[in-house]
Chains A and B, each alone.
Chain A
């Protein structure tokens, strides 16, 4: 199936540092979603992006829908220990209806 390239695969940072992760593809997406998944839980939606160029914030999180509609990034400012988890990007392809394509995930570890 269509691949979303998510990077980095993992990050180990110091509490208080800013974090940036991104997803890229060779295909055009209508929607980008960013999820956080804690161990043993389902993914929880952090930010949804519906328009090219859209920049949206949710507390310390900021995400943008790339102008080309082929990429998106998520930034976390001033990380805290509870930011630990796996972050997934997911997108809806232009011609694939409501199906989500997932990135491979970014595992974030925060050192207090």
Chain B
């Protein structure tokens, strides 16, 4: 089945140690998004790629970076995780700028110790 796959499902990292979360999609969607979701809150958009065009939200901290080496993969890099970065990180895709087919992955829960 076509889907959005996030690995790992659970990630534990040390305070200040760089960590990378990954997302892959078999939907051949042009747009990929990264969201941060804290407990019982709505997802908050960090940034998105439209094809290779990177779009950062104004309030996304510099500590968060992203890479999209090809259509299928997108990575979220947290350069120096702090305790406040512990959250669920959600990857999503959509076919194009109209948002048709907006699909979320199952998420990666990040714990910072």
Contact = CB atoms under 8 A, between A and B. Distances in A.
Interface size class of A (residues with CB under 8 A): 20 to 34
Contacts of A48: 102
A92 B106 contact: no
Interface stretch (B11-19, B67-75, B91-99): B91-99
B31 A98 contact: yes
Nearest to A4: B42
Interface residues of B, number: 24
Contact of B104 (A42, A98, A105): A42
Given A42-B107, A97-B97, A98-B98, A103 B42 contact: yes
Interface of A: 31, 33, 35, 40-45, 48, 86, 88, 90, 92, 97-100, 102-105, 107
B45 to A, nearest CB: 7
Main secondary structure of the interface of A (DSSP, over half): strand
Contact of B99 (A31, A86, A88): A31
The 4 A-B pairs of least Cβ separation, nearest first, read A102-B42, A42-B104, A98-B99, A42-B107
